[in-house]
A and B are shown apart, each in its own frame.
Chain A
Amino acid sequence: MTSKSFTGLMAGAIALTVAGAAAGQTLTSVKTGSAPVLDGAGGAEWSAAEPVNVAVNLTPYKPNNGYEGITQSTVTLRAMHDDANLYMLIEWDDPTQSLARFPWVKQADGSWKQSKNIDDTGHDNTFYEDKFAVLWDVNARGFDKKGCDAACHMAQDGMVNGIADKSPGRKYTTRPGQTIDMWHWKGVRTGPIDQIDDQFIDDTTDPTQNAGWGRKGDSRTGGGYSNNVSEDKATPAVMPADGKPGAYWVEKANAVPFVDSFAAGDILPGIVISPFEGSRGDIAAVANWADGKWTMEVARALVTTGENAETQDVQFSDLSAEYPFGVAVFDNSQINHVYHEGVLTLRFAN
């Protein structure tokens, strides 16, 4: 090897090292004349869209009651658009499909117990659901450089922003008026009704104003999910109309008041779900899990017009602009997520 080629090799390795640590990846949305069918199958209709593979391998904390979820995964993203909508095909590796979110189980003595395994931060990583999140910059300081990290504020010695908090961290923006759009797919609460929970993050740091700090749901006019708990918290409030045990969710339209005719060991849903109406239901998504992988197809209007859309939603109104975003995988975990550093960018091809 000549000294020149060795120098070239070294320079290339150095450039890759430095660039790989700092630069993000770009997802290019291709124009399509026919909208993909949202069936959670992916397939040939996405063949024109160039995939981007994103390695996620960081977690914010280590639950003290055991976390058997993944600590790394690969997310494959594809994007297409037409004149009205953005479509995304999102695939990620997850060896287990997790649906048993706080299920009710009838005990041998006839009582009912909701399965939970809460860690010392107040969160569950055992009886929960798979989730996926996409965060889009609306106008948050630093997001275009740091990605989701711009919204992440970890606790120090039990304090977040000077407030005692047992949570390992909170999400909020650092300036008034700055927001981040959050597409939060929830495998049990929104997956069965083919929606993503359209949320956003603002600068709220007062838990008395909002228990989730800066993390909030978009404006809604109806629908949503609620815990399936009776007033005395001793039993489920409702059950599926067919009276069969074993489901982990029940759709509100298909729920009837709970009547206990079940056997010990029977399972009833811990959650009642219905489609979000209004801005919170802006995003359609169909997901399927098979062979250790989630495949999700997403559609959202390029420009949304619902209540507070300008602050709660990213608006893909300029197809020559670039849109910073980040992704995270939740494996049967309430808040512990597997994420990447830096920022991803969506751009639109003509």
Chain B
Amino acid sequence: MTRLKQLETGGRLAVSLFCLTVLFALTASILLVMYSTASSSLVDHEAVKRKYAQNMMTGAMWGSMYEYVTEDESIHITQRWIDAGFPRDLYESEVKLIMAEDCTNCHSASSTMTKAIPSIPLTTYEEVVAFSTQGLPDGKLLKGLHFHLFGIGSALVILGVLLAFTGLAPLWKALIPLAGFAGLWLDTAGWIAGRVTESAAWMIIGGGALMNGALGAMALLVLLDCWVRVPLLGEAPQAARRV
């Protein structure tokens, strides 16, 4: 069977650059998750739970938006309002003021500030409720699923095919891509399940680890196999032949 090493230099270079791009994207995605949850830990169950399986509002207030929150008590009040089922009177007397104080300068459809986020307005009761229900809001969930499934699914297919042209044992050639897809499905299923159960945070953490681990492993193995002989890949040097 043709091996990656048998490709011309240009072909191996293209494959290598793709693998490096995947590795760079993985690094960025890990940083993004940590930044959006304001966590210094790679696996922060509480932070993941806040972001995906509780509500976006207090998840963001404890997370990436924390620097804009005047004081922690504002988040506690908002959480009590959510836990109480979004009572209108508490919104008018407390939550509305918190939104005005900390959020709506940017989170307004008419905001003109440099960091305006007019797509997520928080200026009315209905808008705030929509952003405060458990799990990711509809629009954010669908958009995330769309990009995640298409993008990562495509990367898994490409890397899985490239892996098939390495000297790796056939069992691993099947298991690693399978683990990647299992992780992807578990991760995205966790996003959906996060709307009904906080346990979904574990699905997201497990799925994410499996998916990213498989992507990273495949990218690294393919990259190495293009240029060096890796003992575990088991390729005999004499088998290398230019095509």
Contacts and interface: CB of A to CB of B under 8 A. Distances in A.
B31 A62 contact: no
A341 interface: yes
B101 interface: yes
Interface in B94-108: 97, 100-101, 104-105, 108
A153 B102 CA distance: 9
Interface stretch (B66-74, B192-200, B227-235): B66-74
Given A150-B70, A174-B101, A21 B35 contact: yes
A47 to B, nearest CB: 34
A13 B97 CA distance: 36
Contact of A15 (B40, B100, B104): B40
A60 B40 contact: no
B100 A155 contact: no
Given A11-B40, A145-B69, 10 more contacts: A21-B35, A22-B38, A22-B66, A58-B113, A60-B112, A60-B113, A145-B67, A154-B108, A156-B109, A174-B101
Interface residues of B, number: 27
B110 interface: yes
Given A58-B115, A60-B112, A168-B112, A149 B68 contact: yes
Contacts of B30: 10
A292 interface: no
A296 to B, nearest CB: 25
Given A146-B67, A153-B100, A17 B110 contact: no
Q: DSSP class of B's interface residues: helix, strand, loop or mixed?
A: loop
Contact of B114 (A14, A17, A59, A161): A59
The 10 closest A-B pairs by CB, nearest first: A142-B70, A61-B112, A58-B114, A154-B105, A156-B108, A22-B67, A157-B110, A156-B123, A59-B114, A14-B34
B113 A59 contact: yes
A341 B67 contact: yes
A57 interface: yes
B21 interface: no
A270 B30 CA distance: 57
B12 to A, nearest CB: 22
B151 to A, nearest CB: 22
A239 B238 CA distance: 96
